[in-house]
Structure 1
């Protein structure tokens, strides 16, 4: 049999984690390799004797998931073989954490080493803004982490001299050391419109020293979504009324 398909055979690599292609992660398992935690249902193929088991959530994880809706729904991959992981043909990015932390939206996590730990953190908003990304996961420790992006991402470097801004619905992850603030930019002439009819919503600003990962895709929060600020908060007015906005010039 002859076909161009044979150009896509298994990548030959001794690396424990490697990209089979831009949309598929290849992980080696064996006696010398610790087990890997992967997104439930993300296994698309495997070779050898690989075992899959559910990841039992601790009481704190279950409570945080109920209160915030943010969680990692994982399975454990162990044994001796190779496992291939993917989700909705999204692009896969591998990160090496060395006693470092990354704040990431849980929906973008594909896999991580069992040596890493995580907890739910709230993204502070000075104005009671409702929308996507109110809570995220803070992943820390030493190990590998694979995140997914819709297309090729932009990595922005943040320095003390350069503050960066990104659409809250396009941000995938950022260095935990960064200071974040969620803002709703509106003007007094268009107080009931999001950015005066531009279609732009909430921004995240980043200060400090680190990096921000932004994907070329965004999802607007549902128009009916409200938080403790209620109806006005969902329209960029915050809990402080009109004064709760960051006013444009």
Structure 2
């Protein structure tokens, strides 16, 4: 049997996290566990076991209260596990002690010694962006994240601020200050800006990076008090705002 298909073989490397093309990552275990999004395993080599990751009552309570849930499984054994999620693009980041803020829906895998917790950010108008809560990941280790399409990483400096659509932002550095804004009058703040199709923006100030994907998801659907905004249909929330971490690509 012959086909160009057989050119798509495993990317052999010594890296613990090894991208297999743009949409899959191979994580070597060799005695080191990895926490992966539940159901993200597409293949594995060797002897690998998968167990649900324990969440403390406090973590479960925060998840219930905020809706920011990160369902994880612990992969352990001898071999390697291949992870993917809906053919999204995958990126591996080195997280330093300052951490990273990201919507939980974009986390694919992370080292088990990293710490994560839910953070909340409210806008000056009392509306949380496309998601009132996000995850703050801190410590020393690696995390694999996903984006819808190939993202753009924007550098923020004290001399150069960056603004981005709240529905397209994926992650940012904790060293940044985050503000929410809408270029609109106060009386029309509750709807997207006229016929421009634009809504809420996140403005980043300071020193760090912002990851923006080429996909604008649903606009905000809830106020910070959980009330549905007028004229909008209740939907699942999408990436939003928070205080995050400083990080750099591998």
- Shorter-chain TM-score category? 0.7 to 0.9
Q: Note the C-alpha offset of 1:98.
A: 2.7
Unaligned runs of 5+ in 2: 232-250
Q: For residue 13 of structure 1, what is the aligned residue in structure 2?
A: 13
* Structure 1 vs Structure 2 CA RMSD: 1.9
3-state DSSP of counterpart to 2:73: strand
3-state DSSP of counterpart to 1:65: helix
Q: Measure, in 2, the Cα distance between the counterparts of 1:178 and 1:67.
A: 26
Q: For residue 60 of structure 1, what is the aligned residue in structure 2?
A: 58
Q: Measure, in 1, the Cα distance between the counterparts of 2:195 and 2:122.
A: 26
Q: Note the C-alpha offset of 1:133.
A: 2.2
Q: For residue 221 of structure 1, what is the aligned residue in structure 2?
A: 219
Of the three residues 74, 77, 83, the one matched with 2:75 is: 77
Q: Measure, in 2, the Cα distance between the counterparts of 1:29 and 1:9.
A: 19
Unaligned runs of 5+ in 1: 236-249
Q: For residue 206 of structure 2, what is the aligned residue in structure 1?
A: 208
Q: Is 2:153 aligned against 1:155?
A: yes
Are the equivalent residues in 1 in contact too, given 2:48–2:78 (CA < 8 A)?
A: yes
With over 3 angstroms needed to count, the CA separation of the structure-2 counterparts of 1:55 and 1:190, relative to structure 1, is closer
Q: For residue 242 of structure 2, what is the aligned residue in structure 1?
A: none
Q: Measure, in 2, the Cα distance between the counterparts of 1:65 and 1:229.
A: 15
Q: For residue 178 of structure 2, what is the aligned residue in structure 1?
A: 180
TM-score, with structure 2 as normaliser: 0.87
1:227-248 deviation line (CA, Å, top 9, x unaligned)? 42846x668xxxxxxxxxxxxx
With over 3 angstroms needed to count, the CA separation of the structure-2 counterparts of 1:141 and 1:192, relative to structure 1, is closer
With over 3 angstroms needed to count, the CA separation of the structure-2 counterparts of 1:188 and 1:182, relative to structure 1, is closer
Q: For residue 24 of structure 2, what is the aligned residue in structure 1?
A: 24
Are the equivalent residues in 1 in contact too, given 2:191–2:199 (CA < 8 A)?
A: no
Are the equivalent residues in 1 in contact too, given 2:153–2:212 (CA < 8 A)?
A: yes
3-state DSSP of counterpart to 2:163: strand
Q: For residue 43 of structure 1, what is the aligned residue in structure 2?
A: 41
TM-score, with structure 1 as normaliser: 0.87
Q: For residue 141 of structure 2, what is the aligned residue in structure 1?
A: 143
Are the equivalent residues in 2 in contact too, given 1:227–1:234 (CA < 8 A)?
A: no
1:158-189 deviation line (CA, Å, top 9, x unaligned)? 11111111111100000012111112331368
Give the structure with higher Rg (CA).
Answer: 1
Q: Measure, in 2, the Cα distance between the counterparts of 1:18 and 1:229.
A: 40
Counterparts in 2 of 1:191-206, with a 5 A limit?
A: 193-206=191-204
1:193-228 deviation line (CA, Å, top 9, x unaligned)? 4212211111111111100000000112365x3442
With over 3 angstroms needed to count, the CA separation of the structure-2 counterparts of 1:126 and 1:58, relative to structure 1, is same
- Highest relative contact order (Cα 8 Å, sep 6+), 1 or 2? 2
Q: For residue 236 of structure 2, what is the aligned residue in structure 1?
A: none
Q: Measure, in 1, the Cα distance between the counterparts of 2:220 and 2:177.
A: 26
